[in-house]
Homo-oligomer: A and B are copies of this chain.
Amino acid sequence: MNLADRLAKLPLFKGLPASQIQEIAKVSLLKKYAKGENIFSEGDENYGFYVIISGRAKVFKLSSEGKEQIFHFFAAGDTLGEVSVFTDQGFPASAAADEETTAIFIPRASFIELIRRDPTLALNMLGILSLRLRKFATLVEDLSLKEVPGRLAAHLLYLSEKTYSPDDLRLDISKTQLAALLGTIPETLSRIMTKMGKAGLINVEGSLIRILNEKTLTKVARGEVKL
């Protein structure tokens, strides 16, 4: 499959005429990243953004002591690095491939040029950024207003919503990564999972999690019930 066909499938380019997609394809690059490989680093100058074709990437920051906070995971179809396309500063955070990942790199100047010509693309991008802002809002809420059990409960319910079998979840990331996503450390996450298990809220077997008591779990997520 060539670049143009791949681009045409993306939600970002939905509703865009083929001719313009061809144009973008001409200046775009297909890139491959090995597991754990760096995609860009905080502060790097930015010449464009990325669209994930396959695999998974994370955007994160590290503290001075080495603790990692993951902002978001990106999978096939997602865009990353768009923020610095529209502001003249380097990347606000770093990104790395979580497994073997392929992505399309779209140069900044050509993309802006395309937006100027087609407002549909602009609206698509505005929708993407708005969604991202929503996610940040709930992340801030979780970090500041909820304790770790609340964050975990909220995350499990979030996963539950986007699954076919809403009570049988499979974590597609390691528990260490999950801890970094929830703003805590593996030890704490482990303890809380054990507690939730003993309280009959969930059942954990490796990366398989079954929700046993959704009602109470919801209350924990809201901070109405403590563990």
Q: Closest 3 interchain pairs by CB?
A: A122-B122, A63-B145, A136-B136
Cβ 8 A contact of A140, one of B84, B115, B129, B143: B143
Q: Tell me which residues across on chain B come within 8 A of A118, comparing CB atoms.
A: 119
- Nearest B residue to A123 via CB reads B115
Q: Tell me which residues across on chain B come within 8 A of A223, comparing CB atoms.
A: 63-65
State the CA gap A119–B123 with chains docked (Å).
Answer: 10
State the CA gap A102–B118 with chains docked (Å).
Answer: 34
Q: A164 interface residue, CB < 8 Å from B?
A: no
State the CA gap A118–B115 with chains docked (Å).
Answer: 10
Asked whether, in the complex, the Cβ of A133 is within 8 Å of the Cβ of B133, the reply is yes
- Nearest B residue to A59 via CB reads B137
Cβ 8 A contact of A92, one of B93, B138, B224: B138
State the CA gap A118–B134 with chains docked (Å).
Answer: 26
Among A82, A89, A134, A223, find the residue whose CB has the most chain B CB atoms closer than 10 A. Answer: A134
Asked whether, in the complex, the Cβ of B83 is within 8 Å of the Cβ of A145, the reply is no
Asked whether, in the complex, the Cβ of B69 is within 8 Å of the Cβ of A141, the reply is yes
Asked whether, in the complex, the Cβ of A143 is within 8 Å of the Cβ of B145, the reply is no
State the CA gap A144–B185 with chains docked (Å).
Answer: 11
Return 12 A-B CB contacts under 8 Å, by A number: A63-B145, A82-B130, A83-B133, A84-B130, A86-B123, A86-B127, A92-B134, A93-B137, A116-B119, A116-B123, A126-B126, A126-B129
Contacts A122-B119, A134-B92, A136-B136: A141 and B87 contacting too (C-beta < 8 A)? no
CB under 8 Å from chain B, chain A span 108-152:
112, 115-120, 122-123, 125-127, 129-134, 136-141, 143-146
Q: A8 interface residue, CB < 8 Å from B?
A: no
Q: A61-B145, A86-B126 are in contact. List 9 more A-B contacts (CB 8 A).
A: A61-B140, A67-B145, A93-B137, A115-B123, A122-B123, A126-B126, A136-B139, A139-B140, A143-B183
